[in-house]
Structure 1
Amino acid sequence: MNLNIKAEKENTYDAIVVGSGISGGWAAKELSEKGLKTLVLERGRNVEHIKDYKTANWNPWDFKHGGWQSNEMKDKHPIQSRCYAFDEATQDFWVNDKENPYNEVKPFNWLRGNHVGGRSLMWGRQVYRWSDIDFEANAKDGHGVDWPIRYKDIAPWYSYVEKFAGISGQAEGLPQLPDGEFLPPMEMNCLEKHVAARIKETYKDRIMTIGRVAHITKALEGSTRGTCQYRDRCARGCPFGAYFSSNASTLPAAAATGNMTLRPFSIVLEVIFDDATQKAKGVRIMDAETKEVIEYYAKIIFLNASTLGTASILLNSVSKRFPTGLGNDSDQVGRNLMDHHFGVGAGGTFEGFEDQYLYGRRANGIYIPRFRNISEATKRNDYVRGFGYQGGASRGRHSEMDGIGVTLKESNTEPGHWGMWIGAWGEHLPYADNTVRLNKEKKDKWGLPTLDIDCNFRENEMAMRKDMLESAKEMLEAAGLKNVGGNDEMPPPGHCIHEMGTARMGRDPKTSVLNGFNQVHAVKNVFISDGACMASSACQNPSITYMALTARAADHAVSELKKGNI
């Protein structure tokens, strides 16, 4: 892999990709494999696959604090430390909040990692296709703008990226959750199988299936990546390459072509717009280590800096043609910020299966697909859209750990009752006044504007949460669990790490930023295929949709370039 650290100021490429995470890695792979000399710009440090997963094989006693968060870690990471995946083993993958400030107009947890691979090293790896129920929702209920694509437009691209990424899952034939290209599914444990059976018996409109997850469970044809070892240490980086990440798959594929140049420590300041051609001609960056400002030029630019990162770049890219930000004719750049609302669900205990236990550490859970507002029979009058559940069952330790020494150790080896928890992930509607804006008064350590984030959940989400809680309790009770209780932690937006919107796709340039191929309406050689492009949020984890949209957009970009249209 080429590392471009000290390039000449006027270095020219065929394509520039900003960001190396889930969507940026795909843009790099597709553009490089199609023959374009591609520069990949990453604002953070380089992370080399395997070599830089330094804690991947550490045991708890190898850590100074046993793997837990220390006060020093929390001091440097007051926002990042709110995430379940942030701990002593993974801290190097999360930004230093003091060096990367932002401004919470309303509470918002911006959880992120600035390094090669981005959040593809840290994600939960759950992958669920969208259906026409999702792509048609805005048009049908009037929230947001109509998507310029439908499921049929993206279905072949879902298949394309799934075959390369490696997706484990079970086909279920559901219209609201299309099946994909699946490797063998992981196995549910005995209590999960029991609950799944009871849900199927009790409800005509609900099922429980094993999670669809980006883990290789069987040797992937044409790949040198390994299979999942059921260690559940994924957040540290996988030395086997068993789960999908840019570092393990798309970036090596791009590097293998000889066409990709990777430049870490490159903070993209703005896209450079050429008034003469009415196209973007390149990007201006600041070297994160030296603070040197450098310009790079290309025929095609892909912005994949994350929803908020891309919005920041667009808003900072001002010119005579675009005084409020590149492509912002519609005043939609920075608007319609969404996240999934979650942190609500139920759990309980189960009496039985005392002769059974778990095998391995399965890096996956169960999934209960959306069952609300998908037909007239399932329509609700108190809210629109819907939600799905994730969770799992396990058997804890014996609750009565008495004594000291040997007695305590022996009691600690006795398994306790089985229990199960399910939590809901709900759709967040696109509200025009959920915004992100540049704050030029408050600067970061590089002297650059910070972001004001003004986003919240509203009446529709609150009404949905009541149903999320009650339905979770109802299903567990119907499955025979005892001591069932619900909870609603109500974390703020951002906490689900599914932020999207801010540069939405649409049919009309007056109300959207991008067309159906992720092109900026008024600047045809700029493409945005990260979370910023989304016109609605659905309730499914979005990463596989970003991958498919990116592969599709790259294919279109190269085709248009060859035709001389961009």
Structure 2
Amino acid sequence: MSKFYYNEEQDSYDAIVVGTGISGGWAAKELCENGLKTLVLERGPMVKHRDDYPTANMDPWDFPHAGQATREDIKQQEKQSRTGYTTSAASKHWFVNDLKHPYNEVKRFDWMRGYHVGGRSIMWGRHSYRWSDIDFEANKNEGIAVDWPVRYKDIAPWYDKVEKFIGVSGENLGLPQLPDGQFEPMMELNCVEDLFRGKVSEHFNGRAVTAGRVAHINSDKKFEGDGRVRCQFRNRCIRGCPFGGYFSSVSSTLPTAERTGNMTLRPDSIVHEIIYDPNTKKATGVKVIDRETKEEFEFKAKVIFLCASAIASTSILMQSKSDRFENGLGNDSGELGHNIMDHHFLAGASGKFDGFEDKYYKGRKPNGIYIPRFRNLGGDSNMKDFVRGYGYQGGAGRGNYEEMIAEASFGKEYKDAVLSPGGWSMGMTAFGEILPYHDNKMTLDYDKKDEWGLPTVTFDAEIKENELNMRKDMTDQAVKMLEKAGARDIEPYDRPYALGLGIHEMGTARMGRDPKTSVVNGNNQVHACKNVYVTDGAFMTSASCVNPSLTYMAFTARAVHHAAQELKKGNI
């Protein structure tokens, strides 16, 4: 993909996509395949599949300081370094410099950002799960926040489409809380994981242990993209995969969009405002600042897709002020920036297993086990002190089980204390749902601006009593399952958690039926400006307890289909 620079003769397009990550790549692909001339804008530099993965083939001894972060590294990523892994020499180049991209915290918020073509689709954890009607109906049934205007049947065909395209390995289980999908062969469990699976099934009615459903090709089937082949079991995914074994927009959706001849990609383009025409009640384009030259441009389009991430897309809407929208484009409800959600985790347990000294495994499997939600599903599963639920990710190995959990690969002190190299150990951490609290919010600070003259984000969000009660059960049940599986030296844990740490920011421009209580409608359109669609995590009305990226992709594909039909009808 060649780098495009502004050309006055090319200032108007059928569609504009802001962002090139999980959602932006899908928007670009679908719009281009629908025949729309599409401008894709990315605020960071170009990344080309294979050519721009500098550490992909490096071994531990190839890194200075054994790959450990230096004081200078930590100084550049002071907030992100709290997570323990963004400053790793293998992946620090994918995460932004906190000094160049500051933000503010009323309460701690761990905001991990990747500003480059491909966004966090290069570094994501790749777990890919469908929502069920239990998730889509929870708000309504419990009287929390607002009701989703869609149900599982509306999204199911789009889940099918996405899974078939990206390649998701997994096992169909027939569980109502975790719908089955279109899967590549499941990655095999190792001997201790298989033992654990049997013991949990034996002792805990209604609980299932399976392999994590991850966006990895696990067959010789041909997938669209840039020469994608099956996973090589290197487990260096966060560095960028030269084989395209896992899904990323740079190896898959963006090359597919480019092949249509309809995509124009412009990196180094910071979108900060949507231009609104009060006469037509539509957006006419976007305002852009060139990251390197700081020149300002405007690009026009018939339809705009915001896919810049939950926080960035909402920041753009907030900055898009006019006589019609004094508090930000589409903010008639006053909900813009509110209802920030994530998944709380780092609560669970680990233990050691005797035996199996003659057993090992081949390769470095890029995932471990998954235990689907088993709380508050009816009957004996219902809890008195919290609503919603959680699922576990984890794994067993002769080494560090946390290598199996992308979001938990840090905390060396804990690993060293609990795990003995050479012996079998197993651990798990639960990912729990956070409710959509109105007072969990982000705002813009116009007194503290970045180097492009744009306001910085301030976060004011925290977990509350429901999540704190859930964490006790997350820890207790992990211990009980390990006990029944025969583990010894079991160590429960509940580490400090702040929003953002799960890297699943959601909410801030939520979907709903009523313009008085939500920002976008059931087709992802801004209620009061129908040619602007928001299809990243910003539109989420609740959080479920499963990783959200597959849902973003499904909603994005569905929204593009809607936009293409509406354009043909002349409705937008």
TM-score range, shorter chain: over 0.9
Amino acid at match of 1:520: V
1:359 is paired with a residue whose SS is coil
Q: Deviations over 1:353-379 (max 9, x none)?
A: 111112210001110000000113311
> What pairs with 1:288-299 in structure 2 (closer than 5 Å)?
288-299=291-302
Q: Equivalent of 1:353, from 353, 356, 361?
A: 356
Counterpart of 1:402 in structure 2 is none
Q: Equivalent of 1:538, from 535, 544, 556?
A: 544
1:247 is paired with a residue whose SS is coil
Q: Deviations over 1:6-35 (max 9, x none)?
A: 322870000000000000000000000110
Is 1:382 aligned to residue 388 of structure 2? no
Amino acid at match of 1:150: R
Partners of 2:520 and 2:112 lie apart in 1 by 26
Is 1:274 aligned to residue 277 of structure 2? yes
> What pairs with 1:508-527 in structure 2 (closer than 5 Å)?
508-527=514-533
Going from structure 1 to structure 2, the CA distance change for 1:297 and 1:189 (only over 3 Å counts) comes to: same
Partners of 1:256 and 1:2 lie apart in 2 by 12
Going from structure 1 to structure 2, the CA distance change for 1:111 and 1:356 (only over 3 Å counts) comes to: same
Is 1:421 aligned to residue 408 of structure 2? no
Counterpart of 1:189 in structure 2 is 190
Partners of 1:172 and 1:500 lie apart in 2 by 27
> What pairs with 1:251-270 in structure 2 (closer than 5 Å)?
251-270=254-273
Q: Deviations over 1:273-329 (max 9, x none)?
A: 001111000000100111111000000000001000011001000001000000000
CA contact 1:39–1:260 (8 Å) conserved in 2: yes
Going from structure 1 to structure 2, the CA distance change for 1:526 and 1:368 (only over 3 Å counts) comes to: same
Partners of 1:502 and 1:380 lie apart in 2 by 29
CA contact 2:222–2:229 (8 Å) conserved in 1: no
TM-score (norm 1): 0.96
Partners of 2:168 and 2:22 lie apart in 1 by 15
CA contact 2:339–2:437 (8 Å) conserved in 1: yes
2:443 is paired with a residue whose SS is strand
Counterpart of 1:229 in structure 2 is 232
Partners of 2:545 and 2:237 lie apart in 1 by 23
Partners of 1:373 and 1:251 lie apart in 2 by 40
Amino acid at match of 2:271: V
Partners of 1:7 and 1:264 lie apart in 2 by 14
Counterpart of 2:407 in structure 1 is none
Partners of 1:268 and 1:76 lie apart in 2 by 24
Q: Deviations over 1:356-409 (max 9, x none)?
A: 112210001110000000113311110000000000001139xxxxxxxxxxxx
Partners of 1:222 and 1:57 lie apart in 2 by 23
Q: Aligned-pair RMSD on alpha carbons?
A: 1.2
Going from structure 1 to structure 2, the CA distance change for 1:75 and 1:125 (only over 3 Å counts) comes to: same
Amino acid at match of 1:337: I
> What pairs with 1:402-441 in structure 2 (closer than 5 Å)?
416-441=422-447
Is 1:31 aligned to residue 37 of structure 2? no
Partners of 1:82 and 1:30 lie apart in 2 by 37
Counterpart of 1:483 in structure 2 is 489
Is 1:339 aligned to residue 342 of structure 2? yes
CA contact 2:3–2:46 (8 Å) conserved in 1: no
CA contact 1:17–1:41 (8 Å) conserved in 2: yes
Partners of 1:45 and 1:83 lie apart in 2 by 24
How far apart are 1:459 and its partner, in Å? 0.4
Partners of 1:108 and 1:56 lie apart in 2 by 29
How far apart are 1:81 and its partner, in Å? 2.2
Partners of 1:385 and 1:220 lie apart in 2 by 37
Counterpart of 1:44 in structure 2 is 44
Is 1:122 aligned to residue 123 of structure 2? yes
> What pairs with 1:433-512 in structure 2 (closer than 5 Å)?
433-512=439-518
Is 1:286 aligned to residue 250 of structure 2? no
Q: Equivalent of 2:560, from 554, 560, 565?
A: 554
1:174 is paired with a residue whose SS is coil
How far apart are 1:446 and its partner, in Å? 1.4
Q: Deviations over 1:247-290 (max 9, x none)?
A: 00000000000100000011111000001111000000100111
Counterpart of 2:78 in structure 1 is 78
Is 1:164 aligned to residue 165 of structure 2? yes
Amino acid at match of 2:94: F
Partners of 1:450 and 1:222 lie apart in 2 by 40
TM-score (norm 2): 0.95
Amino acid at match of 2:25: G
How far apart are 1:222 and its partner, in Å? 4.7
Amino acid at match of 1:25: G
Amino acid at match of 1:476: L
Going from structure 1 to structure 2, the CA distance change for 1:279 and 1:73 (only over 3 Å counts) comes to: same
Partners of 1:11 and 1:391 lie apart in 2 by 49
Counterpart of 1:57 in structure 2 is 57
2:391 is paired with a residue whose SS is strand
Counterpart of 1:405 in structure 2 is none
Partners of 2:39 and 2:391 lie apart in 1 by 39
Q: Deviations over 1:88-117 (max 9, x none)?
A: 011111000000000011100000100000
CA contact 1:311–1:436 (8 Å) conserved in 2: no
1:416 is paired with a residue whose SS is coil
CA contact 1:172–1:179 (8 Å) conserved in 2: yes
Is there any run of 5+ residues in structure 2 with no aligned partner, and where? 401-419
CA contact 1:368–1:388 (8 Å) conserved in 2: yes
